[in-house]
Amino acid sequence: METSKLTINRIKEYLSQGKRFDGRKPEEFREIFIEKNISKKAEGSVRVKIGKTEVLVGIKLDVGEPYPDSKDKGNLITSAELLPLSSERFELGPPKIDAIELGRIIDRGVRESKFIDFEKLCIKEGEKVWTVYIDIYSINDDGNLLDAAGIGAIVALKNAKMPKYDEKEETVLFDEKTNTSVPLSDNIPFSITIRKIGNKFLVDPTIEEEDAEETRITMGVSKGDIMSSMQKGKETSLTIEQVSEALDLAEKAWKTNWPKIEKFLK
């Protein structure tokens, strides 16, 4: 059942004292568990758990034509599905706005940070380029699917290997992987979503905290304080001071939580 108003009031009350139900600080993520290569047929794949929230992210690559306005660059296509399997709140059917937005937010984070070196994905200018597919699936929603998906995308990309491309036959030999990684830069976007509950900010909400949130801002943050993507979601507005506060928390959250996932990105 959706979190009751009673509990939401309690969450706000406790937050006004600077405290969260599970004792975490506002900048702290729950325990992060990452398992690489969970689907052998994918070029790269990962299971990410933050607390009880779980997502699976897979990378597939294929060769095709470039877009006319980027003839020497590879392509990126990101999709997300909020599977009914993962929550009683998700229905059967085509992706609704929540899933569409999630996919686009993660895409923006990866794309704008220039994490992927698109020029190196060009095989023959104007004719053949690699397309990178990032596919995100929710497996259990206990809050913060957004950041779990973001972490999944970067770890899966980092650990993906290019399939073999037969230039003569112009086909991809999917079952023959090379030892070549996807061409990436060191500008790794760490997805951090700041949540506003009452007048307080926090990261990585449980599902109850997420039910209490009034607005959220997802940022792709790399190297501590560089942002290349941002999206504010939900209705409530922020004051200018609150924007500053949110950014400060994002920096703090990066410092606190980046070390937990860094080792998977070596």
Partner 1 sequence: MAKEFKRLDGRKVNEIREMEAKVGIVPNADGSAMFRFGDTIAIAAVYGPKEMHPQHSQDPSTGVLRCTYNMLSFSVSERIRPGPSRRSSEISKITEWALKPIIDIEQFPGTVVDVHIQIVQADASTRCAGINAAALALAHAGIPMRDLVSSISIGKLDKQLVVDVNKLEEDWEEGEGATDIPFAFTSQGNEVSLMQLDGKISMKEYKEAVKLAHEAIKKVYEVQKKALKDSIKDIGGED
Partner 2 sequence: MTTENNESRKIVIPGEIIVSGEDYLPGEGTEKKGKNIVAARYGLAEESNRLVKVIALSGAYFPRGGNVVIGKVENITFNGWIINIGSAANAFLSVSEYPRYVRSDEIEEVMSIGDMIVAKVLGARRKSIDLTVKSRGLGKLTDGMIIEINSNKVPRVIGKSGSMVNIIKEETGCNITVGQNGLIWLKGNSIEEELLAKKAIQFIIDRATTSGLTEKIQEWFKKEKKQIKKEKGDEE
Straight-line distance from the first to the last Cα atom of the chain, in angstroms, rounded to the nearest whole number: 41
Axis crossing angle, helix 97-112 with helix 145-158, rounded to the nearest 10 = 40
Query: Judged by CB under 8 A, which of 3, 7, 32, 83 binds partner 1?
Result: 83
Rounded to a whole number, what is the largest CA-CA distance in the chain? 66
Query: Judged by CB under 8 A, which of 9, 13, 85, 124 binds partner 1?
Result: 85
For residue 116, list its beta bridge partners. Answer: 184
By CB under 8 A, the residues from 158 to 177 that bind partner 1 are 174-175
Angle at 156 between CA 60 and CA 146, to 5 degrees: 105
Query: Judged by CB under 8 A, which of 60, 111, 195, 200 binds partner 1?
Result: 60
The tokens for 9 are 């009031």
Return the DSSP state at 192.
E
Name the helix (H) or strand (E) containing 130: strand 128-140
When CB distances are held under 5 to 8 angstroms depending on the partner's kind, the choice from partner 1, partner 2, none that residue 13 binds is partner 2
Total site size for partner 1, rule CB under 8 A? 34
Q: How far apart are CA 201 and CA 215, in angstroms?
A: 10
Name the helix (H) or strand (E) containing 14: helix 5-16
Stretch that binds partner 1, among 57-65, 105-113, 114-122, 222-230 (CB under 8 A): 57-65
For residue 211, list its beta bridge partners. Answer: none
Stretch that binds partner 1, among 17-25, 78-86, 218-226, 231-239 (CB under 8 A): 78-86
When CB distances are held under 5 to 8 angstroms depending on the partner's kind, the choice from partner 1, partner 2, none that residue 52 binds is partner 1
Stretch that binds partner 1, among 10-18, 135-143, 228-236, 252-260 (CB under 8 A): 135-143
For residue 216, list its beta bridge partners. Answer: 195, 233
Smallest gap from residue 83 Cβ to partner 1 (A): 7
When CB distances are held under 5 to 8 angstroms depending on the partner's kind, the choice from partner 2, partner 1, none that residue 266 binds is none
Nearest alpha-carbon partner for 85 in 140, 35, 14, 17 = 140
Query: Judged by CB under 8 A, which of 3, 7, 140, 181 binds partner 1?
Result: 140
Stretch that binds partner 1, among 11-19, 85-93, 189-197, 212-220 (CB under 8 A): 85-93
Alpha-carbon radius of gyration of the chain: 19
Which residues contact partner 2 (rule: CB under 8 A)? 1-7, 10, 13-14, 17, 19, 21
Residues near partner 1 (CB under 8 A): 38-43, 45, 52, 54, 56, 58-60, 62, 79, 81, 83-88, 92, 94-95, 133, 135, 137, 139-142, 174-175
